[in-house]
Chain A
Amino acid sequence: MATDILMPALSPTMEEGKLAKWLKKEGDPVKSGDVLAEIETDKATMEVEAIDEGILAKILIEEGTEGVKVNTPIAIIAGEGEDVAAAAAGGGSKPDAAAPAQSAPTPTMQAEGQASAPAATAKSGDDKANAPAAPAVITNKSPAPVMDEFPPGTEMVTMTVRESLRDAMAEEMRREDSVFVMGEEVAEYQGAYKVTQGLLQEFGARRVVDTPITEHGFAGIAAGAAFTGLRPIVEFMTFNFAMQAIDHIINSAAKTLYMSGGQLGCPIVFRGPNGAAARVGAQHSHDYSAWYSNVPGLKVIAPYTASDAKGLLKAAIRDPNPVIFLENEILYGQSFPVPKLDDFVLPIGKARIHRTGKDVTIVSFSIGMTYALKAAQALADEGIEAEVIDLRTIRPMDTDTIVESVKKTGRCVTVEEGFPQSGIGAEIIARLMADAFDFLDAPVLRVTGKDVPMPYAANLEKLALPNVAEVIQAVKAVCYR
């Protein structure tokens, strides 16, 4: 019988891709292992091999088509002895059946500040499922820029977080020869997540250094190089792997300035994706924000938007201290407006009020902002105006901005993907107890990842992560609604 060839998912977080090229044409015989087509994702170009044997009866998606969703039928293969014309006519008409996990298309839910709709990730699908009465399309109700961090009228360009990180590194490397990038697959491979794309070509192998798979060793080498005044950017393929290197991050990089009585600084950036991606299990999903937040001698940054990612990574590279720069794999591909400036640098340690509101303060950072902002939009429709603060920097934490907001709203909810105990939310709550107790009208609540190792099963993973409904519920609880 005829078989549909479906658009494959080529990475844990891939939602769509470009059908770059067909290597077989209609009528060609196909056997198992033949390369049928090339698919471009934002990370790589991959080949799609046939699994079934037969005749390529019909191509459903022309080559060059962009944004082809995973599980969309892209071609039909007629089985042996089957009527090719009949197969071509009959297949490819059941996209829903081909996508068993989805009974209906995921509606677009665009978080404020994003330039375009984010890819519908497993998590945003979860948001939909759990967010009662969330409208399918939400417009940006936030008044235009809450904070002035670049001159008014600055031209904005749309770029992904991935591109903004790359540009930040490239700009700083052009500026100073002492800046170099080191890590696994950063050079020849162009980055495991393509964040360092093109850097090798521009700066050469001296400054874009592929390492063996030895996090402990190369983190120490980079820290030692930083002691001499070089400014290494160490990419960890994920921060989960940085656990192998945590001794050098904490004991060597963070403490040496103090232990040397101020003589020996360590100007280094440790960066890479942190926290959960999608379906990668407990050892690849840990959010380490709270861990690094605990250590004096470190600065810790976890941006949400591409603009913040760029401005803060540039600041991190220039900073004379060790900076932990926590990125998020799911945010890499999301687009935001970024000011077109020759040298856009943001201050470390300053939170950004992403959306103003008078009824409740929601504090979050990194991908937690997507839950916070979607919840804020939904709450606005119910008459609750939430002020959403993006911490951007975890350490030093901008307590003033949080306290000022809570003085106004009297209520607060924190949102993070990390574990609850001793988490970032716990820290914010402790600070509010000390600095804003008299202004609080309700206990502060936190929305966090659940207190379990990240499970693999899709349904359990959804349960383990926070979601928009939980944020809405927490906000309503602190508002006594």
Chain B
Amino acid sequence: MDAANEAGQAKADSAKGLAQLGTVSGDAPTHAPAPNTPQFTREEDLHAYHEMLLIRRFEEKAGQLYGMGLIGGFCHLYIGQEAVVIGMQMASVEGDQTITGYRDHGHMLACGMDPKGVMAELTGRRGGYSRGKGGSMHMFSKEKQFFGGHGIVGAQVSLGTGLGFADAYKKNGKVSLTYMGDGAANQGQVYESFNMAQLWKLPVVYVIENNRYAMGTSVARASAQTDFSKRGISFGIPGEQVDGMDVRTVREAASRAVEHARSGQGPYILEMQTYRYRGHSMSDPAKYRTKDEVSKMRDEHDPIEMVRKRLIEMHGVPEADLKATDAKVRETVNDAAEFATHDPEPDPSELWTDILLEARA
């Protein structure tokens, strides 16, 4: 284990609380606030609160629209995991690329993509980011350097490594933030990618969002090594376990990882210990876990509630201010839903466009 890895492990110890979460369905999570938790300034907490709340409200609205039949197919909600992507974004800089799997709405919003365009894609309308041709799992924004949105579990890991390859090739100082879930982390191509990323010292931060269930299969039932931060050990890639419910610990670990990658030392693995409140997709009744497990997480470790509490108790933010933020976020989300339900479907001629690009003259 190299020095960076040791440092990572040392930091990981501070996240032990959540690391000891039960890994078998039904176990009560036992999370105690870790000592030496990094602190946020008032502004940072306000920012994190707004960003996470936007994702939460957006996803709740998406769930509602799905229930109304306005969103079809698959729809994977990010509710509960918001601190991961916001903490990561707070540690990255403009131009860094983001790529993830199918649970991607939160990542898009975190990248600064327009909620209207995202929601309209969910409803399959012409104003959607993919003009209605991608859907929930397939949205992209070159402008925001968001590269999808991928429906084949694990495929985004090789693709994200390729983004890092391009950064190294162009020597542009950018970093690829490549997200995957605990399920994807068992795919073979993940390890092919780890190998090449370390071999070529590519600037990639692999973020394993361990929400404890790969669809209905708990981590313990699918993974011989449930400590995902160790998944890079045989390649010499440093890794750490992070309390992914606390945006502050996420941001701190992310800063370390991004700096490592950006400075030419190669890839870094962050296991974000997190939890999704909803089922795998809208059609998942989530019978593989108890209601108590979910409500315990919501009550004790909700990433947004923790920030809200801090803002009031530590930073002295008046509740009225937070209510104003809530209202603003609701308005943004309602506008997005309004747009997404009134925007026309794509023109039938769109069926035949965007299959091939015209060759340059």
Interface residues of A (CB under 8 A from B): 180, 206, 211-212, 214, 216-230, 247-248, 251-252, 256-265, 296-297, 299, 315, 318-321, 348
Binding site for A on B (CB under 8 A): 97, 99, 128-134, 138-142, 147-152, 155, 157-163, 165-167, 169-170, 188-189, 192-193, 195-196, 199, 353-360
Contact partner of B130 among A212, A259, A299, A318, CB < 8 A?
A: A259
Extra A-B contacts (15), CB below 8 Å, given A220-B193, A259-B133: A212-B196, A214-B192, A216-B158, A217-B192, A220-B158, A225-B169, A228-B166, A228-B167, A256-B138, A258-B355, A260-B130, A261-B128, A261-B134, A263-B130, A297-B356
Q: Which of B129, B193, B353 has the most CB of A within 10 A?
A: B193
Q: Assess whether B148 is in contact with A256, with CB atoms less than 8 Å apart.
A: yes
Closest 4 A/B residue pairs (Cβ): A224-B162, A220-B158, A217-B192, A261-B131
Structural contact, A260 and B192, CB atoms closer than 8 A: no
A and B contact pairs by CB, cutoff 8 A, 14 listed: A180-B169, A212-B195, A214-B195, A216-B188, A217-B196, A220-B158, A220-B161, A228-B170, A247-B152, A259-B148, A260-B129, A260-B140, A262-B353, A265-B357
Do residues B162 and A220 form an inter-chain contact, with CB atoms below 8 A? Answer: yes
In the assembled complex, the CB of A185 is this many whole angstroms from the nearest CB of chain B, namely 15
Instruction: Assess whether B161 is in contact with A224, with CB atoms less than 8 Å apart.
Output: yes
Establish whether residues A261 and B129, one from each chain, have CB atoms under 8 Å apart when the complex forms: yes
Chain B residues closer than 8 Å to A206, beta-carbon distance: 169
Residue of B nearest to A217 (CB): B192
| CB-based contact B130/A224 at 8 Å | no
Residues of the A chain whose Cβ atoms lie less than 8 Å from the Cβ of B199: 212
Which listed residue (B133, B160, B189) contacts A261, Cβ 8 A?
B133
Residues of A within 8 A of B353 (CB): 262
Q: A362 to B170: give the CA distance in the assembly, Å.
A: 48
Tell me if B155 and A299 are in contact (CB < 8 A): no
Contact, CB under 8 Å: A230 / B196: no
Judging by beta carbons under 8 Å apart, are B155 and A248 in contact? yes
* Minimum CB–CB distance for B266 against chain A, Å: 14
- State whether B355 touches A227 (Cβ < 8 A): no
Question: Are A230 and B189 in contact, with the CB atoms below 8 A?
Answer: no
Chain B residue at minimum C-beta to C-beta distance from A258: B354
Chain A residues with Cβ below 8 Å from B196 are 211-212, 214, 217-218, 221
When C-beta atoms are compared, the residue in chain B nearest to A180 turns out to be B169
User: Would you give the shortest CB distance from A336 to chain B, in whole angstroms?
Assistant: 25
Give which listed residue, B131, B149, B163, B357, contacts A321 with CB less than 8 A. Answer: B357
Q: Which residues of B contact A319 (CB under 8 A)?
A: 359
Query: Which residue of A221, A230, A252, A318 is within 8 Å of B360 (Cβ)?
Result: A318
* Chain A residue contacts of B170, Cβ below 8 A: 228, 230
